[in-house]
Amino acid sequence: MKHLSMPPPQLPPPISRHVAVIGAGAAGLVSARELRREGHDVVVFERDNQVGGTWVYNPQVEPDPLSLDPNRRIIHSSLYSSLRTNLPREVMGFKDYPFIAKNDKKRDQRRFPGHREVVLYLQDFASEFGIEEMVRFDTEVAHVGPVEDNIGKWIVRSKRKISDDDREVSFGFDVDEEIYDAAVICNGHYTEPRIAQIPGISSWPGKQMHSHNYRTHEGFQDQVAILIGSSSSSVDISREIAGVAKEVHVTSRSVADETYQEQPGYDNMWLHSMIESVHDDGSVIFRNGRVVVADIILHCTGYKYHFPFLDTNGIVTVDGNRVGPLYKQVFPPALAPWLSFVGLPLKAVPFPLFELQSKWIAGVLSGHIALPSPEEMMEDVKAFYETLEASNIPKHYTHNLAGCQFEYDNWLASPCSCPGIEEWRRQMYDAASKSKRLRPEIYRDEWDDDDLVLEAYADFTKYTR
């Protein structure tokens, strides 16, 4: 039988779109790279005068320590001065641009480096891929919304900064208005604090602040401090404060009501169950029955998703800290693919996830990757919400990928025809998480996964040669 030689199947030529990316943090930078790699024409809007987002440390804090005033001057970053990464650098970096220690004495070579090293890494990334030329710095986006009757066109209104004397920043009133085919939202979600609701707080006489406005332990000397929350920031800050405070009481909602434990290695720090109430004599009563007269309550209670510039006529909402409806955490079905979000997931390794989400978005926008119909995407979202409800998972955990982050990453990688998450990264993440839980004081400087480090560096040679 004669065999006819068939030409290989050909992808249609990619369609180049005019895309606005909001934010030049890690998510915006990698989105810009992936979009341009796919042939799109990209403008990145960045309110700050440099790339890096959260990782640009700002010693200033907001004037309102709880950040409740909607008209306050916003400080974007929530980093404290002593912050070191809570992930090993090998796990943390982008998949194809490893976060390896630089052979340069001015750089932080530690495996869990300080925050400055991360911003330098992001700057390196931006210059390696020529991203800065796509960024409009000092430009705040004030409005993103569909052009009336045309969800394939988006209006982006932006304002240029007119002065910054380090104390006062103001954005001009001259608003630029432009039309884009698509908008990719990368504005970060660690800037708008969430505050714990505490019975009796209005008459409690002490000070309150949110960890968003914590930079150093200054102001905590000889104080009795209560920290609400037990996630990464609280673990670090409680230890830093314990070095100078009279007493530190950490309250957690994830422990049993009777919990009252002196923290190993400290004679002035205790873990409690939740606060029951606070009173006008300064006392704080915990569910475990303990009473503490405290000077200051520090809310380490996380952040709210906040898109003050986004107007989708109610199609995308933030309800109980659920941004939705979103197909696979990225596309609102009714507006896909013209609106997308990079970086919403929590409890996941952020940079590789951003990389995969943005590859997917870039491929969908160019026509290389197909999405299901809006109806099918909506069905998927509904089914996802039903699964959460059936498992009694509250709305505010919609973006929490604990336990399934790597499956999610691999799901994203598949239509992009790129490798998924490396086995060493998965194992190293598990090892680091365990070590952090068991040895919060020392996990950044002592580890026992050198075999995985070797594997990671062998893998990195694909990108570093």
Stretch that binds ligand FAD, among 1-9, 50-58, 276-284, 360-368 (CB under 6 A): 50-58
The pair phi, psi for residue 255, each rounded to 5°, is -120, 165
Angle at the Cα of 188 (from 79 to 377), degrees rounded to 5?
Answer: 150
Query: Distance between CA atoms of 298 and 94, rounded to whole angstroms?
Result: 33
For residues 120 to 139, the per-residue mask of contacts with ligand FAD, x marking binding by CB under 6 A and - elsewhere, is: --------------------
Query: Distance between CA atoms of 423 and 459, rounded to whole angstroms?
Result: 11
- Let me know if 9 is exposed, middle or buried by CB neighbors in 10 A (0-12, 13-18, 19+): exposed
Q: Which residues pair with 208 in a beta bridge?
A: 297
Question: Judged by CB under 6 A, does residue 108 bind ligand FAD?
Answer: no
Q: Are 98 and 464 in contact (CB under 8 A)?
A: yes
Q: Which residues pair with 291 in a beta bridge?
A: 285
Question: Judged by CB under 6 A, does residue 330 bind ligand FAD?
Answer: no
For residues 187 to 226, the per-residue mask of contacts with ligand FAD, x marking binding by CB under 6 A and - elsewhere, is: xx-x------------------------------------
Choice from 140, 355, 422, 449 touching ligand FAD (CB under 6 A): 140
Question: Judged by CB under 6 A, does residue 429 bind ligand FAD?
Answer: no
Q: Are 234 and 211 in contact (CB under 8 A)?
A: yes
Whether the CA torsion 191, 197, 202, 207 is positive or negative: it is negative
Q: Are 156 and 144 in contact (CB under 8 A)?
A: yes
Question: Judged by CB under 6 A, does residue 24 bind ligand FAD?
Answer: yes
CB of 92 or CB of 339, closer to ligand FAD: 92
| Residue 82 CB, nearest approach to ligand FAD (Å) | 11
Question: Judged by CB under 6 A, does residue 350 bind ligand FAD?
Answer: yes
Q: CB-hemisphere CA count at 13 Å for 421? A: 28
CB of 125 or CB of 338, closer to ligand FAD: 125
| Residue 343 CB, nearest approach to ligand FAD (Å) | 3
| Residue 335 CB, nearest approach to ligand FAD (Å) | 19
| Residue 286 CB, nearest approach to ligand FAD (Å) | 26
Choice from 17, 20, 21, 23 touching ligand FAD (CB under 6 A): 23
Question: Judged by CB under 6 A, does residue 141 bind ligand FAD?
Answer: yes
Query: Distance between CA atoms of 212 and 105, rounded to whole angstroms?
Result: 31
Stretch that binds ligand FAD, among 3-11, 46-54, 271-279, 316-324 (CB under 6 A): 46-54
Place of tokens 């998510």: 27
Choice from 19, 26, 248, 336 touching ligand FAD (CB under 6 A): 26
Choice from 47, 89, 95, 368 touching ligand FAD (CB under 6 A): 47
Query: Distance between CA atoms of 135 and 268, rounded to whole angstroms?
Result: 48
> According to CB under 6 A, which residues from 74 to 93 bind ligand FAD?
76, 78-79, 85-87, 92
Stretch that binds ligand FAD, among 180-188, 244-252, 263-271, 288-296 (CB under 6 A): 180-188
Choice from 135, 186, 227, 377 touching ligand FAD (CB under 6 A): 186
Choice from 38, 46, 409, 422 touching ligand FAD (CB under 6 A): 46
Question: Judged by CB under 6 A, does residue 25 bind ligand FAD?
Answer: yes
Q: Are 249 and 292 in contact (CB under 8 A)?
A: yes
Per DSSP, the residues of 93-113 read SBTTB--PPPS-TTS---SS-
Question: Judged by CB under 6 A, does residue 55 bind ligand FAD?
Answer: yes
Task: Give per-residue burial for 156-170: e unless 16+ CB within 10 Å, then b.
Answer: bebbebeeeeeeebe
- Let me know if 10 is exposed, middle or buried by CB neighbors in 10 A (0-12, 13-18, 19+): exposed
Question: Judged by CB under 6 A, does residue 309 bind ligand FAD?
Answer: yes
Question: Judged by CB under 6 A, does residue 234 bind ligand FAD?
Answer: no
Choice from 17, 19, 21, 28 touching ligand FAD (CB under 6 A): 28
Residue type, 290: R
Contact residues toward ligand FAD (CB under 6 A) are 22-28, 45-48, 53-55, 76, 78-79, 85-87, 92, 140-141, 186-188, 190, 233, 309, 343, 350-351
